[in-house]
Amino acid sequence: MEKTTANCIVQGLLQSVGITINGQAPDDIQIHNDNFYPRIIRQGAVGLGESYMEKWWDVQRLDNFFAKILRGNLESKISIPWRFKIKLLLANIINLQTKWRSKQVAEQHYDLDNDLFTAMLDKRMVYSCGYWKHATTLEQAQEAKLDLICQKLQLKPGMRLLDIGCGFGGLARYAAEKYQVSVVGVTISEQQYQFAKQYCQGLPVEIRLQDYRDIHESYDSVVSVGMFEHVGHLNYRAFMQVAHRALADGGLFLLHTIGGNQLSSIPNEWICRYIFPNGVIPTIAQIGKSAEKLFVVEDVHNFGADYDKTLMAWYDNFKQHWDQLKTRYDERFYRMWTYYLLCCAGSFRARTNQLWQVVLSKKGVLGGYQGVR
């Protein structure tokens, strides 16, 4: 496609959502390379992200820029590249989240230098959405989220909790310290495993380097926070079966996951390539379908708007600590990580992505479940 034609198409699309090329507003895009226009038409989301990493364009407020283009659904107005269509087709046939493939996201993302996550996250190293209802800082929001989970699970001293995808051990330690429960946490990330073991030392917490499909014991309660996004739609049922098998009769299972408004077998192509390989976010219908005949859905809580605040807090921490991080990461990584955090913040601000906490029981809570907010 000629640059002039591509320029007109891209300019028209951006203007339709109030973005001016080389304009003066903080969310206006500044183009440094005219090859940007045909590249976006040809490559879509991956071209947009890669050209940003290559300094072809800038936006002062990248988060607002993405909120506008996602709210305006501009991606659907550009033809999907043929290779992405092939990936969509293959994702419905080939299990991209087998035990072997599932390790790719651990190796590429979660096994990055822990110094990066220490600089970006709160003191408990919680790498999931905070709960900002009464919070004004990231520390408060993450503690509120951990306590919300423990209250929803109705944890009591002496209970045994399974944490599927335990991350750096923040929830496991909090539940053990504040609610006097014993915890088994599983992760497939070597870096998270080593960190969590040290972080939870001296508490009744066991951290395992283990795939969720290898869980066979019984627990009073089960929780999974920010891990279901890596399970894959072909494995949703198997995941629910594992949780059902692990949960004792009368216990509660809490699933905390990012969700989408429409069905997709794979996420944004740029995110899949550079941040979360083989990841995909579920719809509420997929969650419900995978739980059929296994669980009763007791409560669904959507606080997706809080992920916008969480991601912006992470970005502020990342930017603040960049001087100490840049000895290990180059400027291309800085732009990649900035793009990741701010485009995701924009997606939650636009309400195209959600954050659900779903509480499930095996046979229904007698007398009804009282939801916590």
**HSE of 255, CA atoms in CB hemisphere, 13 A:** 29
Region 174-202: what's the mean pLDDT? 97
What is the pLDDT at residue 262? 86
Region 16-23: what's the mean pLDDT? 96
Task: Give per-residue pLDDT as tens, 151-185.
Answer: 999 999 999 999 999 999 999 999 999 999 999 99
Has residue 91 got a pLDDT over 90?
no
Has residue 93 got a pLDDT over 60?
no
Q: How far is CA 11 from the centre of its chain?
A: 31
Has residue 235 got a pLDDT over 90?
yes
Neighbours of 15 (CB within 10 A): 12
What is the pLDDT at residue 125? 98
What is the pLDDT at residue 120? 98
Say what percent of the chain tops pLDDT 70: 89
What is the pLDDT at residue 111? 64
What is the pLDDT at residue 266? 53
DSSP state of 92: T
Neighbours of 113 (CB within 10 A): 12
Secondary structure of residue 298 in the 3-state scheme: strand
Region 313-325: what's the mean pLDDT? 97
What is the pLDDT at residue 311? 98
Region 315-319: what's the mean pLDDT? 98
Has residue 284 got a pLDDT over 80?
yes
What is the pLDDT at residue 105? 60
What is the pLDDT at residue 279? 83
Has residue 44 got a pLDDT over 90?
no
What is the pLDDT at residue 73? 87
Handedness of CA 302, 138, 111, 325 (dihedral sign): positive
**HSE of 321, CA atoms in CB hemisphere, 13 A:** 17
Has residue 100 got a pLDDT over 80?
no
Has residue 89 got a pLDDT over 60?
no
Strands of the sheet with 219-225, listed across from one edge: 205-209, 182-187, 160-164, 219-225, 247-260, 353-361, 296-302
What is the pLDDT at residue 39? 92
Give me the chain's average pLDDT, please: 91
Task: Give the pTM.
Answer: 0.92
> Predicted confidence band at 86 (pLDDT cuts at 50, 70, 90)?
very low
More confident: 341 or 113? 341
What is the pLDDT at residue 26? 97
Has residue 59 got a pLDDT over 90?
yes
More confident: 276 or 266? 276
Q: Per the residue annotation, which of 129, 200, 272, 344 is the catalytic one?
A: 344
What is the pLDDT at residue 42? 87
Query: What domains, with CATH codes, occur in the chain?
Result: 3-79 (no CATH), 99-361 (3.40.50.150)
Report d(CA 40, CA 55) in Å as an integer. 14
Which of these, 270, 305, 291, 258, lies nearest to 128 by C-alpha position?
258
- Tell me, yes or no, if 344 is annotated catalytic: yes
Query: Are the C-beta atoms of 164 and 369 separated by less than 8 Å?
Result: no
Least confident among 113-117, 246-250, 353-357: 113-117
